[in-house]
Structure 1
Amino acid sequence: MPAWQSIAILVGRLIFAAVFLMAAVFKFMDMTTTAAYIDSAGFPAPLLLAWLAAIFECLLVICFLTGAYFTEASLLAAVYVVFLAFAFHGPSRWTGNQAEFGFFVDHFTFLAGLLFAAVHGPGRILALRRTVLGRA
């Protein structure tokens, strides 16, 4: 594999990690606001769900940074991103708010990257090649 491809994969991993790290940090900085947003979408136990989301995002960051369980993390993150798209930016929120549709669509571009990453793995650079699903 040419060096530029290995570098591109590593940069992609760093971007995934940064996005989920920012999401987790914002949750930890103001968990009650996150819980209120979850509550506004109609979910039960919003504070518990906010904490679980922040912890899950931290675990994703670890996987993306280390390359360990990378495929599994990419697939779980993909499911999570689709869930977030429908739960918080879905069709019921589009009426009178075109930005919500844009947020919804953005989740699917992120989904595409995560699926591509899941198939191609963490690359060769700085990757603990641990996996449950097979080939690392």
Structure 2
Amino acid sequence: MSSETTQSPAQPPWQTAAILTGRLIFAAVFLMAVTFKFIDMGATAGYIAAAGFPFPLFLAWCAAVLEVVLVLCFLTGAFFSQAALVAGAYVLFLAFAFHGPSHWAGNQAEFGFFVDHFTFLAGLLFAAVHGPGRMLTWKPASAR
């Protein structure tokens, strides 16, 4: 039985606030990322091309769509655990593709950016296991 469907005693208010704050932080990070993409999709495509990927504009739009979906999942709680796992895989990909070991020699700050992705990944994995909480969470009719 998943943690999202297990009946448990009411959570203390601080736990509910912490869960909702975490969800808002996840949503805000991806909302900022997608906002920058929409402001200048060409710049995002250029960054993707500079990393050596083909079809950079297409990939930039794919990333933007994914980030919008993640924001919606984190804000509503819908498909939350699945979204957190997908976001974790995406963050891990970004760490290696854009800040991985091949970037460290030219700029030591890249190592810090690389490590930061792992702290974000840890939070996403924890969230995937524990779910969106019971407050402000959309649940399909079959799960109610």
What TM-score, normalized to structure 1? 0.94
Measured after TM superposition, the shift of residue 96 of structure 1 is 3.3
> What is the match of residue 67 of structure 2?
57
Residue 75 (structure 1) aligns with? 85
- 1:32 and 1:63 map into 2 onto residues whose CA distance is 26
Aligned twin of 1:93: 103
Q: Give the match for residue 35 of structure 2.
A: 25
Q: In the alignment, what sits opposite 1:113?
A: 123
Cα RMSD, aligned residues only: 1.2
TM-score for both structures, normalised by structure 2: 0.89
| Identity among equivalent pairs (%) | 71
Which residues of structure 2 form unaligned runs of 5+? 1-10
Residue-by-residue CA offset, 1:8-37 (whole Å, 9 max, x unaligned): 000000000000000000000000000000
Q: One-letter code of the match for 1:87?
A: A
Q: Indicate the structure (1 or 2) with the bigger Cα radius of gyration.
A: 2
2:112 partner SS: helix
Gaps of 5+ in 1: none
1:126 maps to which residue? 136
Distance in 2 between the 1:27 and 1:5 partners? 33
Secondary structure at 2:78 match in 1: coil
Matched residues in 2 for 1:48 and 1:92: separation? 24
Residues 81-122 of structure 1 show CA distances to partners (whole Å, capped at 9, x for unaligned) of 000000000000000311100000000000000000000000
What is the CA distance between 1:125 and its match in structure 2? 1.1
Number of residue pairs the alignment of both structures matches: 132
